[in-house]
């Protein structure tokens, strides 16, 4: 009976020559591939390092030199996108490539942080410096200040001296501007700045007028500005404004002329500094603003008054003073009666004599301030055209 075949694989002797040796054949191929990969990786690493160095040099390295001077002025408009900003900077010569700028903005996440404004980019500034300036909002800011008590003509002088503003502007009506510090932008027109000053004055005056006291003698906002402008020009000491306003309020209520020296000056210079004392001929000159010769208020303000002067006029303190004169130290001394006032005037004239180096008894030149009187100064004359008259009965209560 035949023997059944064994399920086990028959043993077959394989020649030693056919047995693969360790590390031979396919192993050699794998080794070559590894070397190639290492070499490629090294080359790529060197390339990346070189690329990073190049990008670092582009981002942090020196940028273009300014065409003139030590810096370049660039203005970014509000709402401008990154492409427009890049084109603006390239046109101004502060970056070399719009693509690199846009890439830097995108990679740093600064695309939504750039602020509009005027920027002063240093000559040779790196791309990093430029991006930092725009993101930090380190814009150049320009300001214009109109001091309290300055005339509209002087305000125009201020605007004309500001080189970042453009265009001509006519002298606006006296008293229509609000004394304040205003921020202006390069290229803004002077007329636009004047319009802003006028809007501010209108808004402020409406607020102050609404809060006026029944004690005020003025009946309209326009009259308030006129009287406040006189108060403003009479004293540069803030603490004196309420008292000066009270004096003028009392004089108007009593039917007395204001007799304010600054109104004489305005009639002579129309808002420019006089630069000397008032001459007797100017005291007697019947201009529409000369409150030594007209009753009530002049036809227009003589300056642009500030908030404190307006508050003083619209909320005058209770006072019995109806006279004041310079005290020789920059302030004023006040009096209830004409006799007291004459003594104060004599003291002032003595101070002026000493300042002029004159001996006792010698007369100083007859210049301003002229003493207030208890009657209208000089002979009665016709009220100049346009003069505003306020007549309040003497017995009018406060």
- Angle, to 10 degrees, between the axis of helix 98-108 and the axis of helix 82-92? 130
Share of the chain above pLDDT 70, in %: 74
- What are 372's strand-pairing partners? none
Contact, 144 vs 177, CB < 8 A? no
Higher pLDDT, 397 or 133: 133
Q: Out of 116-125, 223-232, 288-297, 310-319, pick the least confident.
A: 116-125
Would you list the domain boundaries of the chain?
A: 71-136, 142-203, 214-355
pLDDT at 118: 84
Higher pLDDT, 276 or 383: 276
pLDDT at 116: 80
User: Could you tell me the pLDDT band of residue 22, with boundaries at 50, 70 and 90?
Assistant: low
Residue 149 has pLDDT above 70, yes or no: yes
Residue 101 has pLDDT above 90, yes or no: no
The arrangement of secondary structure in 71-136, i.e. its CATH architecture, is 2-Layer Sandwich (3.30)
Q: Out of 236-250, 274-288, 351-365, pick the least confident.
A: 351-365
pLDDT at 36: 58
The number of beta carbons lying within 10 Å of the beta carbon of residue 257 is: 19
pLDDT at 113: 80
Q: Out of 102-116, 232-246, 364-378, pick the least confident.
A: 364-378
The per-residue pLDDT for range 62-82, each reduced to its tens digit, is: 767 877 778 888 888 777 788
Residue 250 has pLDDT above 60, yes or no: yes
Q: What is the mean pLDDT of the chain?
A: 81
pLDDT at 257: 97
pLDDT at 63: 66
Residue 61 has pLDDT above 90, yes or no: no
pLDDT at 64: 75
The per-residue pLDDT for range 156-199, each reduced to its tens digit, is: 999 999 999 999 999 999 999 999 999 998 889 999 999 999 99
pLDDT at 6: 55
Higher pLDDT, 8 or 172: 172
pLDDT at 74: 84
């Amino acid at each position: 009976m035949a023997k059944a075949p064994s399920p086990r694989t028959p043993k077959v002797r394989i020649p030693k020559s056919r047995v693969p040796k360790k590390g031979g054949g396919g192993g050699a191929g794998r080794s070559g591939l590894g070397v190639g990969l290492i070499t490629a990786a090294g080359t790529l690493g060197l390339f990346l390092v070189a690329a990073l160095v190049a990008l670092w040099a582009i981002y942090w390295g020196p940028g273009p030199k300014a065409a003139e001077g030590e810096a370049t002025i660039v203005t970014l408009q509000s709402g401008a996108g990154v492409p427009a900003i890049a084109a603006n900077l390239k046109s101004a010569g502060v970056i070399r490539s719009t693509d690199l700028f846009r890439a830097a903005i995108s990679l740093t996440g600064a695309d939504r942080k750039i602020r509009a404004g005027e920027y002063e980019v240093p000559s040779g500034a790196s791309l990093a410096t430029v991006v930092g300036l725009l993101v930090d909002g380190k814009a150049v800011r320009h300001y214009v200040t109109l001091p309290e008590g300055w005339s509209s003509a002087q305000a125009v002088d201020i605007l004309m001296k500001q080189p970042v503003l453009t265009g001509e502007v006519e002298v606006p009506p006296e008293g229509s501007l609000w004394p304040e510090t205003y921020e202006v932008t390069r290229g803004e027109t002077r007329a636009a700045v004047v319009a802003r000053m006028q809007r501010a004055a209108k808004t402020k005056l409406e607020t102050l007028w609404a809060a006026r006291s029944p004690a005020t003698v003025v009946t309209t906002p326009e009259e308030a500005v006129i009287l406040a402008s006189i108060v403003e020009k009479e004293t540069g000491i803030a603490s004196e404004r309420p008292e000066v306003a009270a004096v003028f309020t009392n004089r108007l209520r009593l039917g007395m002329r204001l007799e304010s020296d600054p109104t004489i000056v305005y009639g002579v210079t129309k808002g420019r500094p006089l630069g000397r004392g008032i001459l007797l001929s100017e005291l007697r000159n019947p201009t529409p603003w000369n409150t030594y010769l007209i009753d009530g208020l002049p036809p227009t303000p003589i300056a642009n008054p500030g908030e404190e002067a307006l508050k003083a006029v619209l909320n005058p303190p209770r006072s019995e003073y109806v006279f004041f004169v310079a005290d020789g130290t920059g302030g004023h001394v006040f009096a209830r009666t004409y006799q007291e006032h004459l003594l104060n005037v004599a003291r002032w004239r003595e101070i002026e004599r000493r300042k002029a180096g004159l001996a006792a008894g010698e007369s100083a030149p007859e210049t301003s301030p002229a003493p207030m009187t208890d009657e209208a100064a000089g002979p009665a004359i016709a009220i100049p055209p346009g003069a505003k008259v306020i007549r309040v009965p003497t017995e009018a209560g406060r």
